[in-house]
Amino acid sequence: MSNNQIGIIGTGNVGGALRRGLERARQSVRAAGEDKAEVRAVAEWADIVILAVPFGALPDVAATIAPLVKGKTIVDVTNALTEDMKLAVGYTTSGAEELQKLLPTAHVVKAFNTQFAQHMDSGRLGEDRLTVFAAGDDAKAKRAVMDLASGIGFDVVDAGPLANARLIEPLGYLNIQLGYVLGLGTEIGLALRRRRTA
Ligand SMILES: NC(=O)c1ccc[n+]([C@@H]2O[C@H](COP(=O)([O-])OP(=O)(O)OC[C@H]3O[C@@H](n4cnc5c(N)ncnc54)[C@H](OP(=O)(O)O)[C@@H]3O)[C@@H](O)[C@H]2O)c1
């Protein structure tokens, strides 16, 4: 895997886990929290910017970084939920497509949102590899994000254009429902089973 400069905005559960996983995969990582000067500095430095912030914070973060991310890859890991944990958008658009509208010169890729943070530094649940679904319209940007996820340890599936975030976001919501509402807990993860042909 090539060495990228990866900026992570958000230093919480997901930001921290992806940082650990990516540093283990020998990527250069810088992270920023809510400090706007730090957010700008990280976005300017990075080739790939991961937005690991609450869905509701995306417009604010997008406005802060928009002038700095022309041609760069943006990874949207958010679950597009309202504060009372309902799907915020869906079917005719997605959080990721709305983010792309806010960052028109960047290449947004939806990824990682279907897994719980505690599995994001290894891509595994015990011995099982979990699946990251990656959706995006720019082939090079999506390839770069898929390589990052593989480097962490995930099984990675190209899930098509960014519009398929309309499907991936509800899948993340299903994971949350199963884990937090329906009693399965967070020691679960989604994996696509495939028959491998030689
Ligand atoms: N947790 C999971 O298992 C999981 C799994 C898949 C996807 N996700 C998604 O990943 C995202 C992050 O989740 P998380 O669990 O890591 O949340 P978290 O632990 O609450 O961390 C969120 C981070 O975002 C920062 N932040 C909030 N508003 C910001 C702003 N305007 N500018 C810059 N940074 C800001 C917070 O800073 P402060 O601490 O200073 O407020 C914090 O560092 C969410 O969209 C969530 O839906 C989470």
> Could you report the per-residue pLDDT of 126-155, keeping only the tens digit for each?
999 999 999 999 999 999 999 999 999 999
CATH code of the region 5-181: 3.40.50.720
CB 148 within 8 A of CB 27: yes
Is the beta carbon of 50 within 6 A of some atom in ligand 1?
no
- Single pTM value for the model: 0.91
Q: What is the pLDDT of residues 32-51, one digit of tens each?
A: 999 999 999 999 999 999 99
Q: Quick one: DSSP state of residue 87? A: B
Q: Is the CB of 55 under 6 A from ligand 1?
A: yes
Q: What span, in angstroms and rounded, lies between the C-alpha atoms of 111 and 21?
A: 15
Q: What is the DSSP letter of 116?
A: -
Q: Where along the chain do its domains lie?
A: 5-181
- Check pocket membership of 153 for ligand 1, CB cut-off 6 A: no
CB 185 near ligand 1, within 6 Å: no
Going from the Cα of 67 to the center of ligand 1, the distance in angstroms, rounded, reads: 22
